[in-house]
Amino acid sequence: MLDIRNLVTSDYLLACLIPLLLLVLSLQILGNPRDLLDVIFGRTSKSAVGYFSVQRATASYAQYARLSRRELGAMRASYKRMSWAHRRIGYDLGYTKKLARLEESIQTNARVTEAIASLAREEFPEEFEPSGLLQTEVVGDVSRVRESIKHFVRDWSDEGRAERETIFGPILEVLKSVSPEERAYMRVLVPGCGLGRLAWEASQLGFQTTANELSYFMNLAFRFLLSEKHTERPRQHILQPYASWFSHQRTADALFRNVAFPNVVPRLGDKFALAEQDFLSLRPPEGSNGGGYDFIVTLFFIDTSLNAIETVEHIHHLLRPGGKWVNLGPLLWTGGGQAAVELSLEEVLRLAEMVGFSVSREDEEGAERRRTVECEYTADKTAMMKWLYQGAFWVATKTP
C-alpha cells in the first residue's frame, strides 16, 4: 500500500501524466488525431499552405493594398525624421504630393488585385473552408503580386509589345515554319507559361496548345483575364505597374503612368488549355505520331529548375520521337545551394545531347539556328536602368 501511495505522489507519475494531458488537450483543439501526428512529424496536411498555393496567392492579392500602405507609412515616417528645413525643401520639390500619388496608385492597383482575390474564392471555395486546425492568417508576398502586375504589362498590353516581339519572335518563327495544314494535328506545351501570352499566340497559329504553370500567383492573374465575368473587353483594366519603385525614374509622371490591359481578350477553347500543376507531374498526351508533344517551348524556364537534369529528361520524355524542344532564356539559377546543379550553357547543351537530343548549331541557316538573343524581362521602358540578358536560343530534336 505504501508503494502505491509513494507512486501516486511521485515525480514519475507527474512526468507521465503531463504529456498525456497535453495530448488530450491537443486532440480537443485539433479535432483529429491524424492532424496531431502531422504536426508532430512535420507531414504536409491539406491545411498546409504551400508557397505557390491558391491560399497564399489569394492572401497576397487580398493583402496587396494593406502591405503597400504599410510601406508607404514607413516612407512617410522617414520623411518626417528629416529636419524642418529639409522637409520644407522636400515639400517645395513636390515630394509630399508624390507620396500622395503613390497612395492613389495603390488604390488603382488594388481594384485589380482585390478582384483577383475575389475570383479565387469563387473558383476555389474548397480551399478556404475551415480545416479543424487553429487558423492563422497567411502572410502575403507583395513582391510576387507586383511581379504579376508587371507580367500583365509584358504579356497583355500595348506597352509590352516590343519586349514580346524580341523574346516571342524567334520561337513563333519556328512554329510558323510548320504548314498551316499540319498545325491542326500538332500539340504544343509551354511550361512555366506565366500569364500565358506565348501559349495563347501558339494556339492562334492553329496548334493544340497547353499552357502549364505551377504558381497560383500567375494562375489566378491569368484566370482573371480568362474570366468572362471579370474581363469582357480589350483595355478594360488599368494599372500603374511601376509606382512601387522610386529608383531610376526620370519623372513622377513616368512613375505613375497608367497602362491599360489586355490588348486582346484570351479565352480557353479546343485549341487552348491550361494545366495548373508541376511540370514534372505532366504525362505525354496520347495520339498519333507515337504520342507525346510535337513542340515543348521553354521561355525563361529551365533555370527555375531545382534539378535541371530531371527537367531536361522530362522534356525528352514528354516529346514524341522527332519532336522539338525550343528554348530561349538565361541561366539564372536559384542560389543559396537550393538548385541541385547550376550548369553553364556548355554543360546544358551537353546534357541535352546526353539525354537524347540533337541540338541545332550556330552555323545553321533558318529559324532553328542556335544563337544569342539580347532581351529584357518585364522591363520598364522609360526607366534609367535596364537589365539585359544574353538569352540562349536553340532548337533540340528528340532523336528516334
Q: What is the pLDDT of residues 115-124, one digit of tens each?
A: 999 999 999 9
Provide φ and ψ at 131, rounded to 5°.
Answer: -100, -5
- Contact criterion met (CB below 8 Å) for 285 and 320: no
Check residues 3 and 329 and name the one with the higher pLDDT: 329
Three-state DSSP state, 46: coil
> Biggest alpha carbon distance in the chain?
98
Q: What's the pTM value of the predicted model, to 2 decimals?
A: 0.86
DSSP 266: -
Q: In this predicted structure, what is the pLDDT of residue 336?
A: 83
Q: In this predicted structure, what is the pLDDT of residue 20?
A: 56
pLDDT at residue 289 tops 80: no
pLDDT at residue 315 tops 60: yes
Three-state DSSP state, 269: strand
What integer is the mean pLDDT of 259-284? Answer: 97
List of residues 6+ apart from 24 with CB closer than 8 A: none
pLDDT at residue 167 tops 80: yes
Q: In this predicted structure, what is the pLDDT of residue 43?
A: 39
Q: In this predicted structure, what is the pLDDT of residue 128?
A: 82
Q: What does pLDDT average to over the chain?
A: 90
Q: And the C-alpha cell for 371?
A: 544563337
pLDDT at residue 195 tops 60: yes
Q: In this predicted structure, what is the pLDDT of residue 290?
A: 64
Q: In this predicted structure, what is the pLDDT of residue 18?
A: 58
Interval 142-151: pLDDT, tens: 999 999 999 9
- Separation CA 386–CA 380 (nearest Å): 8
Using only the alpha carbons of the chain, give its radius of gyration. Answer: 26
Q: In this predicted structure, what is the pLDDT of residue 48?
A: 57
Q: In this predicted structure, what is the pLDDT of residue 284?
A: 95
Q: In this predicted structure, what is the pLDDT of residue 22?
A: 54
Q: In this predicted structure, what is the pLDDT of residue 224?
A: 98
- Separation CA 171–CA 232 (nearest Å): 29
pLDDT at residue 29 tops 90: no
pLDDT at residue 362 tops 90: yes
Check residues 2 and 193 and name the one with the higher pLDDT: 193
What integer is the mean pLDDT of 371-395? Answer: 96
- Contact criterion met (CB below 8 Å) for 124 and 54: yes
Q: In this predicted structure, what is the pLDDT of residue 45?
A: 42
CATH number for the domain formed by residue range(s) 140-398 = 3.40.50.150
pLDDT at residue 6 tops 70: no
Q: In this predicted structure, what is the pLDDT of residue 27?
A: 45
CA angle 362, 365, 350 (to 5 degrees): 30
**Torsion on CA atoms 382, 386, 387, 389, rounded to nearest 10:** 90
Residue 70 carries which side chain, given as an amino acid letter? R
Q: And the C-alpha cell for 40?
A: 508532430
Q: What is the band of 49 on the pLDDT scale with cuts at 50, 70, 90?
A: confident
Which run of H or E residues covers position 103? helix 95-123
pLDDT at residue 245 tops 90: yes
pLDDT at residue 31 tops 70: no
Q: In this predicted structure, what is the pLDDT of residue 8?
A: 46
What integer is the mean pLDDT of 21-35? Answer: 46
Bridge-based pairing of strands 389-398 and 319-329 is: antiparallel
Please report the sign of the dihedral spanned by the C-alpha atoms of residue 198, residue 204, residue 205, residue 210: positive
Indicate the domain borders of the chain: 140-398
pLDDT at residue 23 tops 60: no
- Contact criterion met (CB below 8 Å) for 61 and 220: yes
The 8 Å CB, 24+ separation contacts for 312-319 are 312/348, 312/351, 312/352, 312/355, 313/355, 314/279, 314/280, 314/282, 316/355, 316/356, 316/357, 316/398, 317/284, 318/189, 318/282, 318/283, 318/284, 318/292, 318/293, 319/284, 319/292, 319/293, 319/294, 319/398
Is the omega angle on the peptide bond into residue 19 within 30 degrees of 0, that is, cis? no
